[in-house]
Amino acid sequence: MDSEHLDKKYLKTLTVLSVEDDEETSLQAASMFSYYCASVLTAKNGEEGLAVFTAQRPDIVITDINMPIMDGLAMAAAIRKIDGAVPIVILTAFEQISYLKQALDLGIDKYIFKPLSHEQLQQTLYNCTHRIRIERALKESDERFRLMFHRSPDAHTLVSGGIYVDCNEAAEQLFHCTRQHIVGQKQTELHPEFQPDGRLSSDILPLILAELNHSGKHSFEWQYQRPDGSRFFADVSIVLLALGGEPQLYASIRDSTARKQDEEELRRAKEIAVLADQAKSRLLLVVAHEFRTPLGLLTISSGILDRYWERLSHEELVGQREQLHRATVQLSQLVDSVLDISRQGVLKSPESPVQIAIEPFCRTVAEEVVTVWGANHTFHITVAADCGSSLLPEQLFRRVLTNLLTNAFRYTPPGGSVSLAMARSGEQLLIDVADTGIGIPDEEQNMIFEAFYRCGNIDSRHGLGLGLSIVNDALYKMNGSITFTSQVGVGTTFSLILPVG
């Protein structure tokens, strides 16, 4: 539907006040106006016209100038004081410049000389109607905007020239303050100096304004700071509006703190799940790594019994059977660990310490490792007489010795030597594992305790790079420490200190 048709239709809802002192002219005008309008009011002079306007507030005023008691211009001036927007049309047979100037000063909408043609009257009415229709539509739109603005459950603010000029009740609730603490404040007063990403709020605001000037709207996430100093996250949508002839920023602000907290909790939960999964995988690899020595013992001892059963003395048979028994016990413990990981994702709570006779225990572990890994090597073990017995977690202690000795043999060429020395100093057990192996390059020595790290000089030797990582982890659980010295082509010595009871 075009604008002219809308104006014609809207004119049928309007009331016109016709002020004319000539009775015949007044009747003719009223007849013409009634054809276009909803109703017509008449008055014989300016005083009567002012009274009618005051009482009934017509939509359009059409008046003559020269009338008794009060002329049309004086009436128009009085009407302008009551309603500065109502359209006023002057009809006159006089062309005095003074009248025209006075009409212009009063903001008269149309100044028409008599005699008035039908077409001229029609177009004048349509022009006035168009203005009324547009102004009222804008007013209704503004009223709807104000209604939505103030009744919205989301916080809304208006900013002009970097100053808050309005806000709704939801904004007061969100910022924990009254309207007086928001309106009149600079935008920067309700922002922290820095946003969570480390950028200055004052550096980001110009970027937001540039986007608004480009597209007229922008949505983003923002952190606000309340007058009481507390902060909250919000999802913000801003639209650039022209209100009252001035560009203003209309912002819809929705508190996203709870959502951010949920997202952070979800992120942490995912992170914990990933770490747990990594820990589980690492534990399984550690356990798999630990299977090698007992499996080697089983293979070797069973092979010896198969081949040399009839040649072995009673003592030798007992020794092989004990070795098989120890290997099966170790395997059983490792299987239990795998089951714990499968059921719970982690190993059971820390192993309780037990009383261990240091010399026989260390010799047994050393013999097991030598049996599997010590072929073509010389091995020496020295245990000081004062080592006695100590409270230690057996599996962790075995893990430390087994991995250090295994590494020493694996990375020492045939014909080389490996040694294990044990001593006691007060409440500390001192352990040295030395070899004449390939050594550790200087530039790699700070990385050897990392899981899966393998030095560049190991050639084709098989392995996962877990042995020293397992040792380091076990010592941490035992509150022990480890240091080492190494020289490429000469060998390596690992020195351990374990607190013992």
- Position 305 confidence tier, pLDDT thresholds 50, 70, 90: low
> What's the pLDDT at 383?
92
Average pLDDT of every residue of the chain: 83
> What's the pLDDT at 340?
47
Please give the helix or strand (H or E) that residue 220 lies within, else none.
strand 217-225
Please give the helix or strand (H or E) that residue 119 lies within, else none.
helix 118-151
Domains of the chain: 3-142 (3.40.50.2300), 152-255 (3.30.450.20), 270-349 (1.10.287), 350-501 (3.30.565.10)
Strands 246-255 and 155-160, bridge-based pairing: antiparallel
Q: Cβ of 304: how many Cβ atoms within 10 Å?
A: 19
Whether 185 and 192 have beta carbons less than 8 Å apart is answered as no
CA-to-CA dists, residue 227 to 175, 176, 178, 231, angstroms: 7, 8, 10, 9
> What's the pLDDT at 226?
92
> What's the pLDDT at 281?
66
> What's the pLDDT at 187?
87
pTM score over 0.85: no
Between helix 292-308 and helix 314-344 the angle, nearest 10°, is 150
Is the per-residue pLDDT at 260 higher than 70? yes
State what percent of residues in the chain have pLDDT above 70.
82
Strands 60-64 and 246-255, bridge-based pairing: unpaired
> What's the pLDDT at 285?
61
What is the token pair recorded at 89?
A: 């049309």
Is the per-residue pLDDT at 183 higher than 80? yes
Whether 59 and 15 have beta carbons less than 8 Å apart is answered as yes
Residues 6+ apart with CB under 8 A from 244: none
Q: Lowest mean pLDDT of 152-156, 272-276, 326-330, 418-422, name the range.
A: 326-330
What is the token pair recorded at 429?
A: 């057990």
Q: What is the pLDDT of residues 192-235, one digit of tens each?
A: 999 999 999 999 999 998 998 889 899 999 999 999 999 999 99
Mean pLDDT, residues 384-410: 89
Max mean pLDDT among 17-26, 132-141, 231-240 falls in: 231-240
- In angstroms, rounded to a whole number, what is the distance separating the alpha carbons of residues 481 and 406? 19
Q: Lowest mean pLDDT of 277-281, 311-315, 347-351, name the range.
A: 347-351
Strand partners, 231: 225
Strands 246-255 and 231-243, bridge-based pairing: antiparallel
CA 148 from centre of chain: 29
Instruction: Classify burial at 138, counting beta carbons within 10 Å of its beta carbon; exposed 0-12, middle 13-18, buried 19 or more.
Output: exposed
Mean pLDDT, residues 24-48: 89
Helical H segments across 152-291, by residue range: 169-175, 201-215, 257-290
Is the per-residue pLDDT at 279 higher than 70? no
Q: Lowest mean pLDDT of 57-61, 175-179, 366-370, name the range.
A: 366-370
Strand partners, 158: 166, 250
> What's the pLDDT at 462?
54
Q: What is the pLDDT of residues 417-437, one digit of tens each?
A: 999 999 999 899 999 999 999
Mean pLDDT, residues 248-262: 89
Phi, psi of 344 (to 5 degrees): -115, -10
Q: What is the pLDDT of residues 136-180, one digit of tens each?
A: 887 887 777 777 778 888 899 989 888 999 899 999 999 999 998
Helical H segments across 393-466, by residue range: 394-410
> What's the pLDDT at 373?
78
In 3D space, the residue among 122, 54, 115 whose CA is nearest the CA of residue 86 turns out to be 54
SS3 for 397-418 is HHHHHHHHHHHHHHCCCCCCEE
Q: Lowest mean pLDDT of 18-22, 28-32, 113-117, name the range.
A: 113-117
Mean pLDDT, residues 298-312: 69
Mean pLDDT, residues 438-462: 80
What is the token pair recorded at 160?
A: 């002009």
